[in-house]
Structure 1
Amino acid sequence: MDIAELLVVLVVSLALTAFARAKGLPAPLLVTAAALAASFVPGLPHIEIDSDVILTVVLPPLLYSAALDVTWQSFRQSLRQIRRLGIVLVIVTAIVVGAVAYLLVPDMTLPAAILVGAIVAPPDAVSAAAIGRKLGLPRRVMTVLSGESLINDAASLTLVRVFTLIIAGESLTLWEDAGIFALAIVVGLLVGGVLGVLVHWLRMRLGDPVIATIMSILLPFVAYVLAEELGGSGVIAVVTAGLYIGYNSPKEGYETRLQERPLWTSADVILEGFVFALIGLQLNTVVRETLASHRSLLESVGVAFVVLGVVVLVRPAFVFLSYWRRRLNGRWLRPLVVRATRGRPRLRWLRGAAEPRMTWQELTVISWTGMRGVVTLAAAVAVVSSPTHIPAQDTIFLIAFVVTVGTLLLQGLTLPIVIRRLHVHDPGEHERDTAAELLLSHRTTEAAIDLIRERQDVWAERYGREAVDATVGRLRRRLERQAEDFQHDAEDERLDAREAPSRLTAAEVQAVRRELLARRREVVLREREHGALDEEVMRRVLISLDAEELAMDSSQAGRSRS
């Protein structure tokens, strides 16, 4: 794909995405459908998927942005479900699909068949998450879907690596297979963790929002490439770094947060539209390669659709069976563990976090969010184009394409209907968040008032008693009013400014207000650290505090220019 073709795909996919967002349509499905039709337009140049470009340029920023949005608190609470779906389900899908493909394709060996299963195993939660957010899925469901999408690509790509080595003639034992998995996980965690800590440390000390944002842009690419070069999982490295940076971003400057948020949102829109356009544009290639194959068209397409059916059915069977088995085991095993560790603080980690309960309606929605994405096609291209001879290689890309497009259209189009028909939403979530936000605002303003009491004499010595009393009195009245009704009264500042016998300078007022904002942020972070605050609520409160500081700096800059 040359630069001109790349720009055309980007511009057209962005235009379709903009139209879909304006009309309330699912953008990934619209872009995919349009690209499927466009692939047969006469004269349109053939656009191939470059697996290296997809895996090293497109995938890392998408994973990193998703990791930034995941709340660590919710991720940790749902970690058992996320592990089951992101790792165990990928392995189960690879084995079941591999068994079916091995039975249906006479010249396909068992390792090659499981390789095909590993390629089609990882769902891409991009479109599911977009639909879920729009229709108001409960946060616990969104956390599971987002968390699964962060780690299932790592499990799938590691399986692909293992079975490609086996097909190439490597005699790997079960322990060697496990060693490859362990190495991928450990190296990925170490690389992502070290880079995340280093970047956060630098951003905290540089204090330059532009440089901090550039470091954030480079981080996912560096983490992915470095981990892959060291034999680890680039996906895990990117996710680890993103989770660490996202969790610690409230400790950094507000300007960095305000710059990064729209940046990554825009990157998501551009990259998602691009990858779904690439998926649809492969239809012409798939048809030509299938017709050129020595197999009959009916045989090849039939195998692909059977695999599609298996992929669709394996997920709900696994979701329901694994969830209810865990619930049944938890009813008798967890009480025993709790009793055994009571009074033994060092052993309480054995209890683990209680798995969030889910209704059968929520499990049904999770079961129906198995849409595959560009990682499946990129892995298929990488396998097909590798120098290793793979039995029945001519069917791999066809199967990957049919599974990807089939799940996108089948499940993507019907998922909104499933969510609406089953009434999967949490009607009290908004009210709980609002109440928590109001309570947190009240606590932060009380902390700021306490700081005024503590620091008023210090400020008086520094700036002068009369001016401090007048200005601090005005700020205190504003905070007290804000604690009561969660509203700023802009008129209050103008009125008190006229009544004050003397005033602090603008810079002195800014210094006092910054101390108050810093104290309020401390309260927010303390509540988060103690587990008494949902991170979604924390982020909304931080946005309001950031906006307040931005408005303060903007007004100061305006006065300086005037």
Structure 2
Amino acid sequence: MEALVEAVLFLTVAILGTALARRFGLLSPILLVFAGLGLSLVPGFPDIRLHPEVVLAGILPPLLYVAAVETSVPAFRRNLRPILLLAVGLVLFTAVLVGVVVHLLLPELPLAICLAFGAVVAPPDAIAATAVARRVGLPRRVVTILEGESLVNDATALVLLRVATAAALGAAVQVGEVVVEVVVAAGGGILVGAAGALVIGLAHRRTSDPVLDNALSLLTPFLVALVAELIGASSVVAVVVAGLALGHRLPVLMSAASRLQMTAFWNLVKFLLEGVVFLLVGLQLRDVVQALEPPWTRVALVTGVVLLTVLVGRFVWVFPAAYLVRLAPRFAGGEPRPPVGLPVVVSWAGMRGVVTLAAALSLPLTLAGGATYPRELFIWTALAVIMVTLVVQGTTLPAVARRSNLPPDDPAADVLAGAAVQQEATRAAEQRLAAAGDELPPAVRERLRQSVRNRALGAWELLGGDEETPSQAYARLRREMIEAEREVFRRARDDGRIAEEVLVRAYRDLDLEESLLRHGSAE
């Protein structure tokens, strides 16, 4: 019973924190971290500890999967070079830089454990990047790069952490072994993810039941991650590959009803898990601080220097990667020279999150031969990096983005492109209607023709100004009419004139119609 009370209390705080953040236009990750910090200091509040396995095996796979499903594969492919430069190159650079700096500060420690700690603080967090980047309203290309980085960088960091930890525990790690480890982790993850996408895709094709489709979708990231771990491959890479492949083919794998329900289902999963994750980060403060040991000057020095290294190191890597690579046209890919604001924003968007803390908690208790090391100091420093990057960078990123003067996405261009394709779709629909011959009554034929033409007109109406368009007026009044219809069915059910099942069917049809009213047009 006590565990149930704690779980309900925990979820309630996470939901209320996220709701308050949305109500007042705040960044929910930051508010929830502060909420967790406050609760960790309340006497008598349950001691909820973060276990690495829970995060890496229970929370990370579904969040990575849904982020990958929602990522545009063509956009990901177009930005593959900057994504890999950040997700692989920057992670390795940061890990080595932090490892060397910590080894210089604490020369009595083996370099291997210092590199392991570097791998812990190197990767920006997938959840934080997605939550903050979209909330800030960054240009689409910047969001794609940051999300792509956050999808892949965990795999780089976790593989490096595994190798460095093995060396710190006394294993003889040769260069060839490291290469084999990387190839197995990355290559195996790609193969498992691709195979998983193929098998799950076939299963989706064979069912049109939205409930089964959603259950299968929820199972996918855990199943793929489990198979990858069993063969020693990267579960992160496997989940991301499966999510990208399935998300790209979603329109041909699922029915319309399944896609609608899946969107709502995963929105709920993300809402709950993201709230829980950031609240968990804040709640670890009490235990981490209590485990710290003096001298406090060493604690302050290591924490400050690592923070500075993480923040500055990202700038040191991003700017040369953005500009020097263009000295070689072969690697530039014909891309134009980016404005200065782009590397500035990308450099400042390096928020760390729960994966960093989970990785820190997974550090070994002792080193080779039972030697001790300041593990608690490493965990504290990792938590400090999370807090500072989330709070400082997360809160100032909107101002940095505004001052960077990045060219915003052109909504008119999106509308024009969408309207042009809508015209093609309209012609295809009219050709299909014409192919029906005389099998349709004239009234039905005219109704269908008018429906597709209204959709085409609605696409062009989006180019208009602030005045209400005919389609927007239609959508507004139709929603009011739908609510009036609902009220009639509600009263009939309450008066006993219809059964509950009749009300449910009527509400389902009305809800689906209302869900099709987008941007003031009936789709």
TM-score by length of 1: 0.79
Of the structure 1 ranges 136-145 and 445-454, higher mean CA displacement relative to structure 2 is found in: 445-454
Q: What's the CA shift for 1:355? A: 4.3
Alignment pair present for 1:249 and 2:250 = yes
Output one character per residue of 1:226-283: Cα deviation in whole Å (capped at 9) or x when no partner. 1011100000111011111100111121111101112112211211111111111111
Report the equivalent of 2:347.
367
Aligned with 1:87: secondary structure?
helix
Q: 1:136–1:425: 8 Å Cα contact kept in structure 2?
A: no
Give the whole-Å Cα distance in 1 for the aligned partners of 2:277 and 2:202. 33
Return the match for 2:270 from 261, 268, 271: 268
Q: What's the CA shift for 1:198? A: 0.9
TM alignment of 1:206-225, pairs within 5 A: 206-225=207-226
Q: Which runs of 4+ in 1 moved over 6 A?
A: 487-491
Report the equivalent of 2:446.
473
Change (3 A) 1:553 1:201: farther
Report the equivalent of 1:526.
none
Please, which runs of 5 or more residues in structure 1 have no aligned partner?
A: 335-351, 461-466, 492-546, 555-562
Return the match for 2:513 from 536, 547, 551: 551
Give the whole-Å Cα distance in 2 for the aligned partners of 1:412 and 1:91. 23
Aligned with 2:206: secondary structure?
helix
Q: What's the CA shift for 1:481? A: 4.4
Report the equivalent of 2:373.
391
Change (3 A) 1:367 1:282: same
Give the whole-Å Cα distance in 1 for the aligned partners of 2:190 and 2:232. 12
Report the equivalent of 2:323.
324
Give the whole-Å Cα distance in 1 for the aligned partners of 2:408 and 2:34. 32
Q: What's the CA shift for 1:19? A: 0.5
Report the equivalent of 2:300.
301
Q: 1:109–1:391: 8 Å Cα contact kept in structure 2?
A: no
Report the equivalent of 2:62.
61
Alignment pair present for 1:11 and 2:15 = no
Give the whole-Å Cα distance in 2 for the aligned partners of 1:82 and 1:397. 28
Q: What's the CA shift for 1:101? A: 0.2
Change (3 A) 1:469 1:490: farther
Change (3 A) 1:186 1:413: same
Change (3 A) 1:421 1:447: same
Alignment pair present for 1:84 and 2:76 = no
Change (3 A) 1:157 1:485: closer
Change (3 A) 1:485 1:309: closer
Q: What's the CA shift for 1:164? A: 1.2
Change (3 A) 1:150 1:481: closer
Residue correspondences, number: 468
Q: What's the CA shift for 1:482? A: 3.7
**Residue type of the alignment partner of 2:288:** V
Report the equivalent of 2:425.
444
TM alignment of 1:232-247, pairs within 5 A: 232-247=233-248
**Residue type of the alignment partner of 1:302:** L
Return the match for 2:283 from 281, 284, 309: 281
Give the whole-Å Cα distance in 1 for the aligned partners of 2:47 and 2:174. 42
Q: What's the CA shift for 1:200? A: 1.1
**Residue type of the alignment partner of 1:479:** V
Q: 1:384–1:397: 8 Å Cα contact kept in structure 2?
A: no
Q: 2:224–2:239: 8 Å Cα contact kept in structure 1?
A: yes
Output one character per residue of 1:177-219: Cα deviation in whole Å (capped at 9) or x when no partner. 0110110011111111111111111111212111011000010
**Residue type of the alignment partner of 2:355:** V
Give the whole-Å Cα distance in 2 for the aligned partners of 1:375 and 1:393. 17
Q: 2:18–2:32: 8 Å Cα contact kept in structure 1?
A: yes
Q: 1:193–1:241: 8 Å Cα contact kept in structure 2?
A: yes
**Residue type of the alignment partner of 1:197:** L
Report the equivalent of 1:496.
none
Q: 1:140–1:356: 8 Å Cα contact kept in structure 2?
A: no
Give the whole-Å Cα distance in 2 for the aligned partners of 1:23 and 1:220. 33
Alignment pair present for 1:426 and 2:408 = yes
Report the equivalent of 2:128.
127
Q: 2:140–2:409: 8 Å Cα contact kept in structure 1?
A: no
Give the whole-Å Cα distance in 1 for the aligned partners of 2:202 and 2:447. 37
Q: 1:112–1:163: 8 Å Cα contact kept in structure 2?
A: yes
Report the equivalent of 1:400.
382
Q: 2:129–2:150: 8 Å Cα contact kept in structure 1?
A: no
Q: What's the CA shift for 1:45? A: 2.8
Aligned with 1:456: secondary structure?
coil
Aligned with 1:170: secondary structure?
coil
| Percent pairwise identity | 37
Return the match for 2:361 from 381, 387, 407: 381
Change (3 A) 1:285 1:425: farther
**Residue type of the alignment partner of 2:122:** A
Q: What's the CA shift for 1:485? A: 4.4
Report the equivalent of 2:498.
none
Give the whole-Å Cα distance in 2 for the aligned partners of 1:3 and 1:425. 50
Give the whole-Å Cα distance in 2 for the aligned partners of 1:100 and 1:18. 41
Give the whole-Å Cα distance in 1 for the aligned partners of 2:161 and 2:117. 8
**Residue type of the alignment partner of 2:29:** P
Change (3 A) 1:325 1:454: same
Q: What's the CA shift for 1:63? A: 0.3
Q: 1:124–1:372: 8 Å Cα contact kept in structure 2?
A: yes
TM alignment of 1:32-111, pairs within 5 A: 32-111=33-112
**Residue type of the alignment partner of 1:177:** V
Give the whole-Å Cα distance in 1 for the aligned partners of 2:325 and 2:106. 36
Change (3 A) 1:320 1:468: same
Change (3 A) 1:77 1:173: same
Aligned with 1:206: secondary structure?
coil
Change (3 A) 1:385 1:8: farther
**Residue type of the alignment partner of 2:424:** R
Give the whole-Å Cα distance in 2 for the aligned partners of 1:385 and 1:258. 47
